[in-house]
Chains A and B, each alone.
Chain A
């Protein structure tokens, strides 16, 4: 790699990381220290964290955290469970209407949430499941699992068809062959789950409309500081950083699978 390339990489690293580092810095200053000139570049003040975890808003904060985890985990698990068999069948079997159904699943990715929002809202009100985990999870599963479907189908495509044939000769049942193949694409399942989890974890518009009170996730909790008369930006940023930590930890742990998954989609 030449010098220009090195310089560009370093520049991009700085560009990608500075906002995050600046966010951490803001969370480590007390709200008063934010309004000081010259600017403080470093902070060690944990008061915002203390306030967030043990102060008056702690109850709301933990509630939001719990909600975020609950919807993200339940949504991801149900989305993955429901799409694995589908992805497998689309990869290994031929059947009528296959092309149409495939297009039907993929087209979901082109339908923005805004276009289906009102009928869904109405449906949720009619069945009084508004502001419950159920409606959120349903929306996430429907909206985000076509992507998981696509990823896992591509992974299944990479499993050699001979394996199916051997299974058939040995007299393994269809279900058994499915589980064998599913075990082989474990990395794909991890990648698909991660991408789905991040999507749900970050979602903003859906809970903005469908969560009034009980099911508010962290993303909405953060922005609620804005409307109030005196905004404590330090705590707001702290809450933002805490929200960001979970995806960062997951990416660190499952880095390889994650990048592999993204590369698979782009093929």
Chain B
């Protein structure tokens, strides 16, 4: 009776996941050993993986690494202190948090469209501000040079991710009992020392988790790049390369292999970390 009830409650969801996530997923792993498209299919072993490593444009690796490196560091460097300040109660705190969240709910495609008019070479806000502040003399076409466009696309991504990270850090900070601060003060620690000696060590696991989360979302960057610079090789991310490989070159086996490689590399650290935590948690 009890078992019937449980099966009845969880079966629909589990079945759905089996059919539409796990079946295609294992099918993809199987496919990655074949040279295939919609009509033909031929077993070639790990050939796809070898070809992918050889044929993927080296630039895309570099670009993605740049996005990841830049975004993760910037996100954490900004989100941590922001959360630390928001922890204090002050007038209008709710409104401030509500406004700070807006970038996170902006759809990435819209995000790209909006930033285009900030980065525009002749009529963008960025040039205008920099020129008014006399930092540059002539307007620059930001999205034309490689390094600056990588950086600026990174900024768009960071802009979107920061609110989420801030909220996560904030919720963790709020869990630290007040007594801890008081104990620190009684022991004669200054505000800065409390932060370094007490708070940061307690936040270590959250920091770790957010860095891993940041890596995953930056490795899979697609929408912002697609909207701002299209398929240009200078800014192409691995996921855009993958998309092109599958849909314009129709190399489906290789595309699948690349997607699997990217997934493994980007999520493995997170999985290891999580599995340790799931072991500890009781569910």
Interchain Cβ contacts within 8 Å, total number = 248
What CA separation (Å) do A243 and B97 show in the bound complex? 22
Minimal Cβ-Cβ distance residue in A for B79:
A12
Q: Which residues of A contact B274 (CB under 8 A)?
A: 106
Task: Kindly provide the distance from the CB of B246 to the nearest chain A CB, expressed in whole angstroms.
Answer: 7
In the complex, what distance in Å separates the CA atom of A99 from the CA atom of B102? 36
The residue of chain B having its C-beta at the shortest distance from the C-beta of A231 within the complex is B116
For A5-39 the 0/1 string (1 means CB < 8 A from B) is: 10011001101111110110010000000111111
Inter-chain contact A20/B259, CB cutoff 8 Å: no
- Determine the chain B residues whose CB is within 8 A of the CB of A266 once the complex forms: 167-168, 171-172, 206
When the two chains form the complex, which single residue of B82, B108, B128, B230 contacts A12, counting CB atoms closer than 8 Å? B82
By a beta-carbon cutoff of 8 Å, the part of chain B in contact with chain A is: 2-3, 5-6, 8-10, 12-14, 16-17, 20-25, 27-28, 31, 38, 78, 81-82, 85-86, 88, 90, 94, 96-103, 105-118, 122-123, 125, 128, 159, 162-164, 167-168, 170-172, 175, 206, 216, 220, 222-223, 226-227, 230, 239, 242-243, 246-247, 252, 255-256, 259-260, 262-263, 267, 270-271, 274, 278, 283
Within 8 A of B (CB), among A59-105: 82-83, 85-86, 88-90, 93, 95, 98-99, 101-105
Are B171 and A263 in contact, CB atoms less than 8 angstroms apart? yes
Interface residue tally on A, bucketed by range? 35 or more
Query: Which chain B positions have C-beta within 8 A of A267?
Result: 171, 175
Residue of A nearest to B98 (CB): A255
Q: Which of A1, A118, A247, A262 contacts B28 (CB 8 A)?
A: A118
- With A16-B99, A226-B230, A244-B106 given, is the CB distance from A118 to B246 under 8 Å? yes
Contact among A16, A22, A243 for B163, CB-based, below 8 A: A16
Assess whether A163 is interfacial by the CB under 8 Å rule: no
Complex CA–CA separation, A17 to B106 (angstroms): 11
- Min CB distance B204 to A, Å, is 15
Given A34-B123, A112-B262, A115-B256: A16 touches B9 (CB 8 Å cut-off):
no
In the complex, what's the smallest C-beta–C-beta distance from B10 to chain A, in angstroms? 5
Shortest beta-carbon distance from A67 to chain B in Å: 14
A123: interface (CB < 8 Å): yes
| A147 in contact (CB, < 8 A) | no
Considering only CB atoms, which chain B residue lies closest to A40 in the complex?
B123
